[in-house]
Structures are given as structure tokens and as C-alpha cells.
Structure 1
């Protein structure tokens, strides 16, 4: 891995283009979006290699999600600093110059890996001396970007990325309700309902809750209501080779305790749907106090097809929980096969079933615990 940045760019560009062409043909049209709006297919190899060095190539016991989030921040901040042009194969030269020496030395005695100090030092060389401090300052971070000043953060227009994303039309479930799939995921306990609501409503910081399996980046100049997110989701065809797909969702309904009538109607609709499916547990227990809930409706090209997810924050028996539930039309064969092979596990893990490292909801809970303190 001593020249991994340069070699991966050269060797991987052709493969990336081939994958991109495959995804654009036939059934691939519904899952055609690979990677991120930040990088072209020719950059996918070195971008993946960089994220591997920060996280995925490390032994599980040595992984720290903060390093993965820092690596994403470096990529996104660099993209923003370049005038938001799409990153390409040539950008590997600057990354190799900034991080190559540290990778030769390695982290934890393993050549090719990057630890926190190496990421911060390389970020300073790549982006500017202000970067290490800004990357660790919540007031100067937003939308996955570190800014030199709080004023620069306040002036940022996230819709620059939206213009490149072209999310397409909304594709909610269209089949009769009786034919739809309704599924719920395990609840994730949070230490404080009010602090959790504040974290969820603070959309600019959603990239800070990235897990091993993906992250959400907001694209609109607005709060949670009506917000559109770019989702970068990770699949693992082999243990150290993450493959990134992207999709888009928009918050089409937001309910809070400020409008009890709207909230209660939303809760009743969710409970009625699950009541008709006794094999599925309702995501909202009887007697629970619902603080907030919202629908995340998919856009064309989403790997779930015509679908939406719901997130609900509620309290019951003196404890508070964040929970997800999904509704989707029966999938066409190519999406169903993809879902059965990797999607089902990833969905469950991301929404809270498995390791906290893989779940965005667990990362929100960890953030709230950190803010709330002992």
C-alpha cells in the first residue's frame, strides 16, 4: 500500500467507469447512482482507498467512527474549497502529497493506515492550517464541511450540492395499502427526549451522526420539514472493500407536540397500518407519548424502490426511544435480489438492530448522551 493512492487511481478508474456503465443500463436504472455527488467515477477508487485507510481497512477493534467522519469531512471540505467542482482522478496527487508520508509510516504499526493525528495533519496540509481546529469545532462544522469561521458556515448555501444531485421525482408507495410491505425496526433508547429532538432538528449536523453503513447530508436551505437528504450507503462485497451507493429522500411530513392534532392523526395512521399486519410489531407502543415523527419519502432511483421510512421519537414508562419503520411496494426482481443479499441486513443494522457502529440512530443517542453528560 506504499503508493496506494496513486496506484488505486490508475488501476481503479477503468473499473469504476465499467461499474457506472453497468448501473446505467436495464434494471440498473433504478439503482444507477454510485458513490457521491462530490466525486466522478474516475475518483471512486482513490476515495474508497482513503476511507479504507481511515477506517474500513483497520481491524475492528482499532476502528473509531470519529476517524471515518473526519475522513469524510476532509473530502467534503476539500470539494467545497475547490469551488464545488466534481473531484476526479487527478486529485489523488494532492491527497497523496498530504497523506502519503503518514501512510508509509502507518497507524498502529500497520503501513497504509491513518490515525486521527495523521488525518488532522494531512488535512492541514491539504486544506489549510485552520482545518484541524475547525474540524473539531461543532460551531464551524455543517453539511459535512469544516469552515474557517462561524461566519463562513452561516453564509454557506447547501443547495449548490442539490443542483448537482438532481434527485428526481418523489416515489412513495403506490400500490394499494393491503399489498404494501410494512416493517418496523428495534427501538434505540436515547437518554433525553428533548435533547434528541434538538439533535434531529439540527439538520446541518446530520453528517456528524454517520455510521459505518452510511450518512445523510442535507441539501436544502431549510430545517427538517421539507428537507432533502443525500444518502451515501455502504455495501461490503468483501470485508475491506466498501462500495458506496447514493439515494435521495425528502421529509414529506413532520409532526411535533406543537401541533397535537396533526401529530395524533399521523400516529393513528401508523398504528392502523401495523394493526392490519399482526406479524409486525407497531413502532409506537400503546400509551406512548410521541414527541416527534416524520416521513422520509424516497426519490426515483432509490434502492428500496417506491418506499418511505418513518422515524418516531417517543417516551414510555419513563424511558425515551428513537425508532424507524418502513413501508414499500413489492420490489421488482432486481431490487428484491439486491435487498435479499445485502439490503435487508443493512436496513436493519442502520436503523438500530445490530452494532452501534453501524446504526445512525445509535450515533444520535451517543451524541445526546455526550451533550447531556452524566
Structure 2
């Protein structure tokens, strides 16, 4: 285990040194100093902040100041809208609304970077080669698996975990409850993934939902049964899910790839755990963050240059070493990254096969209504009615 993590640390250091030595194209020669403000959520890994620090070291007269905005995924638009910034680090679900309300301007992608197709699609400006925001890191729902006997271990799916829960012990935890805005979005993603595990036509590759009431009832029936009989751990949010997985030594968990490295390292120290593995879901929900230029920025050219530095292939490889799911094909096929992070290919397949949430400027209201109806159905036993379909359809027109 020590050798594995020493190799990862060495790789991160090597990538950092390599970026500094090959970034001449990102130097600014202006004499007067300016400051770019980057509005973003928290970064528990430190990887994003390291990239910003590298930019600042290269460009003493064009400094990036990070303004961390305390917001949930659901209220990011409102919180960011109250923040004056030159660059926004947007969750993918908010890009359509920022674009529709004229808060951001399109960007020509100048990097020699091959974006994974689903990641590019959610950022594109329709009918052009431009992007509304440049992908910074990707994300996708994954299945975590505690391995106790490697010879007897095999991957599972959400569908098979629910089926096994009917008669066996409780082995699975997911973000299957919500207590408000901070946990609503994780709940929505998990419910969509469980529905997709039963019926792939519930949400298509373009983020278009089915409006068939019977289809939704059937797709959510196994999950509703498991929750009501307490055959799964229904946690509120990613943190509570990870704590339940560790505290109760559960076999399986649904979470995001960035959780893998710290969790695997901690769990390997336990005598009853050989390792933690992650597997792709048949159809996971696509997530991630992207960098956009604020329409009212006084320094658009500088902001664009900074975004290209922070999202270019070397930056993608560095973020990958910190546990993020990369956006570019080059990071996934890098030999050093593949050796240090054996799970990387599985993350790529998961991202490539993922489904986006509805790509709509009214997404936040959709998610609120969707979470309200499905939580009452799953936890309180309320039947899904035609009002569920009416409510979600009305905001996605």
C-alpha cells in the first residue's frame, strides 16, 4: 500500500514540475497588475488551488483570486449571481441558465484537447464550435466495493444489489434521502441512476426524461421497497454515505470518483479490508464543473487565457492525480496515470456511457419538484400520481 501511494505522490509532483516547465504559452507580459476573481465551490483535494497557484507564479501581473462561495449545487446560480467574478466554476446543470440569462459569454476552445463526448455536449453552444464553459473536471456516479477476499469478489450493479437486499443482509449505502438544499442534488442523481438501472429509457442520452407515469412507478418500485423495508442505508449526502460505509463496514456504496483515493487509503489499513474497488454503473449520472467567462468581466481576454491554462491537458493530468475524473481522452490514456491509478479506465467507461440530467435553464426548479415527489414516494409511501408528471413536464418545456 505504501508503494502505491508513494507512486501517486511522486506522479503529482512530477506533473506539477512538468507544467511549470512547459507553460511558456501562458505568460502575460503586461506591466500593470490586474486581478481575476474566480468564483467556485470548495475543493477538498487541493488540486484546483494548486493549479491556480501555478498560474499566479507564472503571471505575477495577472493574478487569480479564488472566491469560495458557500453554496449547495441547487442554489449555486443564486449565490454566484450575487458574486462579482471574472470566471465562474459552474456545475454542469447551471450552464444553460447562466447562458440563457446572459451571465456568461461563449469561448473558442483553443487547446489541443480531445474532450470526452458527453462532457463536451453539455457545454456546447448549439450550432457552433464554441463552448459556453470549458470543462474543468468531470464526474459520474460509481459503485464502490469493499473487497475482503479477492478470489471470491465480483462486481455488482444497482439492480443486483437491490435484488440481493430482499433476502440477505444490508450491504449497500447511497444518497437516497435528502434533508434540504445541501443534499437534494445528490438525492436526485441517485434516484435517476436507480431508475435507469431498471429502465434505460427513463432518461435518454440527451438528458430527455420519460413522462410515462407507469414507467416511473415500475422503475422506482424496487428502490421504494428496499427503502421502506430498511434493506439499504438511505443517507443524506455524500459525506453521510461515506461515513455509513465505513462505520458499518458495508460491502457497497454509490459515490463520486473523487471520494475513492482517500477512502481506499483509509480502508486498506483495516485488517478486514483488502482494498476498495470502484466499478462503473451501467448508466451513471454525469456531473462535473466547467469554467466560464463572466459577461461583465473587464478582463475577458485574460480570463480566457487563464481558463485555457487551468483546463489544458497538463492540468487535466494533474487534477487526475488528485482523484478527479478528467475531461480529456489524453489524461485517461496517459501511461503513468494508468499505472498509478488502475481504476482510471473504469472511470472513463463510466463517463463515456453516462447520461446527463435534463439540460434546461429551469433545471433547479425541476430538481426541487422531482426531489419532493420522489422523496414522499420512497420514504412516506405516497403513490406517484399524474401530478408528478405534470409538475416536472411544466418546468422543462
TM-score, shorter chain, exceeding 0.5: no
Tell me the TM-score normalized by structure 1. 0.26
Q: Relative contact order (alpha carbons < 8 A, sep ≥ 6): 1 or 2 greater? A: 2
Tell me the TM-score normalized by structure 2. 0.25
